[in-house]
């Protein structure tokens, strides 16, 4: 259920993009064509930020029913639309529903699954983004081929209703705590993020490079306003420990940003495959989805890692592998590339995508365990969806800018795009190392000395044992919370 809710939203993004040319030919509204993605992404980001407030009011089942219901209603509006303005209203409804379902997917991993399943749950849910990138264009192209774009939206609505019918049967019930409702809606945080999402989305559709750079600058300024507002606000979107000195959580989120943004290169890979490799459209489209395929498939293997040392290695190795793959692919770009070289793109893309899959589930769990407080942990889990959604939108805009900067040569555009995101991914390696270093500092260390050698039946041994069981500190939380160690008393000598 958690994975299916995320998959619906992920498929819808690319399915709608494939259908829009046919839709515009039928109902008109070409001037508003580009606003479809802007409206959807902005609504999706906003909804992910409201997950905890909705959960506190409606509980698990009520929140999921609301998410599926809003998405289905938006899809029905899209299917019955007489013109483009009404279609935009439907797309906003789809975005709100998809954002809520995406945020709930990560939040309920934290609250509804046992700790031992968090990595596997995160891997399955995260893999839906890659699977949506693969399935969405195929389904959209199929419906568009037969001119049945309205039927595609009907199919989305029916799927949402069908999944909603199973919600009461498969999801655990939860109390309506009212905590999030009493705290209020984080309007101070919402407004700058809405501005950032809107600026980024518009930047991705303009062709003028100076205007695009200005919009990206506006988006960056909006994000800075968001951070400043969050630090001072009583009602936050991100966990409190994100803004505390010495916290690894901010670096975990930064690594997720670097990984998720790298997926934006997929948008232009089919273009490069056709122009540089001479591939037919269908084959070029498959090359474009290879990154997502590597992402989705590798997460299943990565989720089997149980040792913390292995998880740390994967969190660092993932961005490094993505950066290496994109850099190698950039060097392989050339005019009239021989077929053997073009075919070699495929394993490189699969390996690059595997870098995302290796690290993402363990980064998600690192975020969830970034604070010992249960309510803050749920907020940290929901924030993963916000970070992923906003990173994807930002990545698409930056990708358009890099391609424009590399033009008019297709080879130069391809290299500029791939090397640019290779640099972003390499930055993710540094942020992952920083998170790991801070996490190691906050881990409790055993004390040395005579007292630590006390037998299991002594008072000192009992106190140490009970303390280590009852008191723990999250490796990815703030250094200002939780114990730094356990004081051992040497009762036999009457001293501490």
Domain membership flag for residue 110: yes
Domain boundary among the residues 234, 269, 290 is at 234
Domain boundary among the residues 234, 256, 290 is at 234
Query: pLDDT tier at 137 (50, 70, 90 boundaries)?
Result: confident
289 compared with 435, residue with greater pLDDT: 435
Q: Tell me: do 269 and 357 sit in the same domain.
A: yes
DSSP conformation class of 81 = -
Q: Tell me: do 159 and 299 sit in the same domain.
A: no
Q: Tell me: do 43 and 134 sit in the same domain.
A: yes
Q: Which one, of 134, 105, 122, lies nearest residue 293 by Cα? A: 134
What is the arithmetic mean of pLDDT over 447-474? 42
Provide the b/e sequence for 400-421 (b: ≥16 CB within 10 Å).
bbbbbebeeebbebbbbbbbbb
Count CA atoms closer than 13 A to 446's CA, side-chain side: 9
Domain boundary among the residues 439, 474, 491 is at 439
Q: Tell me: do 256 and 342 sit in the same domain.
A: yes
Domain membership flag for residue 256: yes
Model confidence at 448: pLDDT above 50: no
Query: pLDDT tier at 94 (50, 70, 90 boundaries)?
Result: very high
What is the arithmetic mean of pLDDT over 224-239? 80
Q: Are 382 and 52 in contact (CB under 8 A)?
A: yes
Domain membership flag for residue 470: no
Q: Tell me: do 219 and 364 sit in the same domain.
A: no
What is the arithmetic mean of pLDDT over 437-466? 51
Q: Tell me: do 101 and 230 sit in the same domain.
A: no
Residues 218, 219, 223, CA angle at the centre, nearest 5°?
Answer: 115
440 compared with 357, residue with greater pLDDT: 357
- The residue segments making up the domain with residue 401 are 239-439
Domain membership flag for residue 57: yes
Phi, psi dihedrals of residue 335, rounded to the nearest 5°: -70, 140
DSSP structure string for 413-479: HHHHHHHHHHHHHHHHHHHHHHHHHHHHHHS-----SGGGG--TTSHHHHHHHHHHHH----TTS-T
Domain membership flag for residue 454: no
Q: Tell me: do 118 and 211 sit in the same domain.
A: no
CATH number of the domain where residue 335 is located: 1.20.1250.20
Query: pLDDT tier at 431 (50, 70, 90 boundaries)?
Result: very high
- Exposed, middle or buried by CB within 10 Å (0-12, 13-18, 19+), for 334? middle
Number of C-beta neighbours around residue 251 at 10 A: 23
Number of C-beta neighbours around residue 234 at 10 A: 8
Number of C-beta neighbours around residue 37 at 10 A: 21
Query: What pLDDT is attached to residue 319?
Result: 94
Query: What pLDDT is attached to residue 165?
Result: 93
Domain membership flag for residue 224: yes
Domain membership flag for residue 209: yes
Query: What pLDDT is attached to residue 444?
Result: 53
Query: What pLDDT is attached to residue 249?
Result: 86
Number of domains in the chain: 3
Q: Tell me: do 88 and 226 sit in the same domain.
A: no
Q: Tell me: do 415 and 381 sit in the same domain.
A: yes
Query: What pLDDT is attached to residue 372?
Result: 76
Number of C-beta neighbours around residue 167 at 10 A: 18
What is the spatial distance between Cα 221 and Cα 198, in angstroms, rounded to a whole number? Answer: 13
Q: Tell me: do 150 and 276 sit in the same domain.
A: no
Model confidence at 24: pLDDT above 80: yes
Query: What pLDDT is attached to residue 457?
Result: 43
Residues 37, 125, 295, CA angle at the centre, nearest 5°?
Answer: 80
What is the spatial distance between Cα 351 and Cα 176, in angstroms, rounded to a whole number? Answer: 44
- pLDDT, tens only, 29-67: 877 777 887 788 888 888 988 888 888 888 889 999 999
Domain membership flag for residue 495: no
Q: Tell me: do 307 and 180 sit in the same domain.
A: no
Phi, psi dihedrals of residue 173, rounded to the nearest 5°: -75, 155
Q: Among 156-165, 372-381, 406-415, which is the least confidently predicted range?
A: 372-381
Q: Which one, of 236, 167, 186, 176, lies nearest residue 54 by Cα? A: 176
Q: Tell me: do 266 and 404 sit in the same domain.
A: yes
- pLDDT, tens only, 96-107: 999 999 999 888
| CA separation, residue 37 to residues 13, 76, 149, 385 (Å) | 8, 18, 16, 18
DSSP structure string for 128-176: HHHHHHHHHHHHHHHHHHTT-HHHHHHHHHHHHHHHHHHHHHHSPP---
Helix (H, G, I), strand (E, B), or coil: what is residue 244?
A: coil
């Amino acid at each position: 259920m958690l994975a299916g809710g995320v998959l619906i939203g992920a498929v819808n993004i690319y399915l709608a993009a494939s259908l829009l040319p046919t839709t515009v030919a039928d109902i008109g509204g070409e001037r508003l064509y580009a606003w479809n993605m802007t409206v959807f992404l902005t609504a999706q980001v906003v909804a992910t930020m409201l997950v905890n407030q909705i959960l506190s009011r409606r509980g698990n089942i009520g929140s999921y029913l609301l998410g599926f219901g809003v998405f289905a209603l938006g899809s029905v509006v899209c299917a019955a639309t007489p013109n483009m303005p009404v279609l935009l209203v439907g797309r906003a409804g789809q975005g709100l529903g998809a954002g809520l379902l995406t945020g709930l997917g990560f939040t309920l991993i934290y609250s509804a699954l046992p700790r031992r399943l968090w990595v596997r749950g995160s891997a399955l849910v995260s893999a839906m983004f890659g699977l949506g990138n693969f399935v969405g264009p195929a389904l959209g192209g199929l419906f568009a081929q037969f001119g049945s774009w309205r039927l595609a939206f009907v199919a989305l609505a029916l799927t949402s209703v069908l999944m909603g019918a199973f919600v009461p049967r498969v999801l655990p019930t939860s109390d309506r705590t009212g905590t999030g409702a009493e705290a209020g809606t984080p309007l101070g945080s919402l407004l700058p993020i809405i501005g950032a999402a809107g600026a980024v989305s518009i930047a991705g559709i303009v062709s003028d490079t100076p205007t695009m750079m200005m919009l990206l600058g506006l988006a960056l300024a909006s994000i800075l306003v968001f951070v400043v507002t969050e630090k001072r606000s009583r009602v936050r979107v991100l966990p409190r420990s994100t803004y505390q000195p010495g916290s690894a959580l901010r670096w975990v989120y930064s690594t997720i940003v670097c990984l998720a943004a790298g997926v934006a290169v997929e948008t232009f890979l089919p273009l490069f495959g056709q122009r540089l490799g001479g591939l037919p459209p269908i084959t070029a489209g498959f090359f474009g989805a290879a990154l997502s395929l590597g992402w989705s498939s590798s997460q299943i293997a990565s989720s089997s890692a149980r040792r913390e040392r292995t998880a740390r290695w994967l969190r660092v190795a993932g961005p490094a592998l993505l950066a290496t793959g994109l850099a190698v692919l950039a060097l392989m770009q050339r005019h009239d590339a021989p077929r053997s070289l073009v075919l070699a793109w495929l394993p490189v893309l699969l390996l690059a995508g595997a870098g995302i899959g290796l690290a993402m589930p363990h980064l998600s769990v690192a975020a969830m365990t970034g604070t010992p407080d249960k309510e803050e942990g749920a907020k940290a889990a929901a924030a993963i969806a916000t970070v992923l959604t906003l990173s994807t939108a930002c990545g698409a805009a930056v990708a358009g800018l890099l391609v424009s900067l590399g033009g008019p040569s297709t080879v130069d555009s391809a290299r500029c795009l791939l090397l640019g995101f290779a640099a972003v991914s390499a930055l993710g390696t540094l942020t992952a190392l920083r998170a790991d270093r801070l996490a190691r500092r906050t881990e409790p260390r055993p004390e040395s000395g005579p007292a630590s050698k006390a037998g299991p039946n002594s008072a000192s041994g009992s106190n140490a044992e009970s303390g280590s069981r009852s008191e723990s500190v999250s490796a990815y939380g703030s250094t200002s919370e939780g114990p730094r160690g356990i004081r051992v008393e040497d009762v036999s000598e009457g001293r501490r």
